[in-house]
Structure 1
Amino acid sequence: MGEMKGLKEINFKNVDVEGMRRIGCEIGKNLVEGDLILLKGDLGSGKTILTKAIAEGMGIDRNKVKSPSFVLMNIYSDHLKLYHMDLYRLNDEDDFISSGLMEFLQPVDGVTVVEWADRISKMKLNEFLEITIDFEDEERRSVRLRAKGERFDQLIESLFKVGDDEF
């Protein structure tokens, strides 16, 4: 596990769809109210697949989870709400602020997952788990988890004892 600019980091290589599901489920099982997950990656890299797995880990039916590209946010509620944002259609932080979604970044009654989080990368956020998904080939991805804040440092340490490994 490496440190980078105050962020704890772990990398998974050679991750297939099932590996992505396992990573997401493990994260989802351990999320609490107010947690913020920022997803970055190219179109088709697996951000929505990972979000479905996080939802599954939270006890939400993964089949209900759809990419909110046109509506910007979907809310799924079971015992803990999941605020699922997709910022693909926004240009920058100004668009995000004017969208009215700021209040959902760290909700008191749920967890927020943001796809295309690079659209808000300049915002000053205190605690979050940033997940970057990169293509290795058509079937496999590399997945990097970076924690900012003590809560997510501990989450990474407790969930993933080994890094830079195949998952």
Structure 2
Amino acid sequence: MKIITTLFAALVLAATAHAGEVTYSKNPKAPVIPPPPAGCDCFGPGLSLGIFGAGILPDSDEDDALGGGVLAEYFFNEYIGVQGSYGIFATDSEHHEFDAALVLRYPITSICVAPYVMGGGGYATNSFEEWNWFVGGGLEARFSEASCFGVFADGAYHWGEDDGDFTLVRLGVKFKL
């Protein structure tokens, strides 16, 4: 949990480190008021693709494992979207995780950051085969100057059918199409 909290704090600090524009006036007596920041328009509807590094933290006696994967998401508006992801992890017999989720986010356009919650289902195969349900949350920051390139960090707790419960923590990047 400390890792997720640290990552969220780093994303928020990185997203707020943006200086405003300086304007000058020929009349020194006239007050110069800079225009308000334009805000961020990176969280509109549309498709995004991403890649991530991840850690799987089982509740059982199994060892934690690192891995990575890919994701695709489509947002119908700035608040509601769906996401599908595939991850592979270096367990004793390669853990493959396929997930589908409903994502609800709340963009804060003044700093181009969006906290979100997600929930859905998944299927694990190879190390063990079972369906699972999950719920989680995360934070995404977008950079409008870089074609809405985004970074995200999230975590989700998965409940498996046969006590295969685990936590999945991801850190990655997204590209808006």
Q: RCO (CA 8 Å, sep 6+): is it higher in 1 or 2?
A: 1
Q: Which has the higher helix share?
A: 1
- Which one has a bigger Cα radius of gyration? 2
Q: TM-score, normalised by structure 2?
A: 0.27
Q: TM-score, normalised by structure 1?
A: 0.28
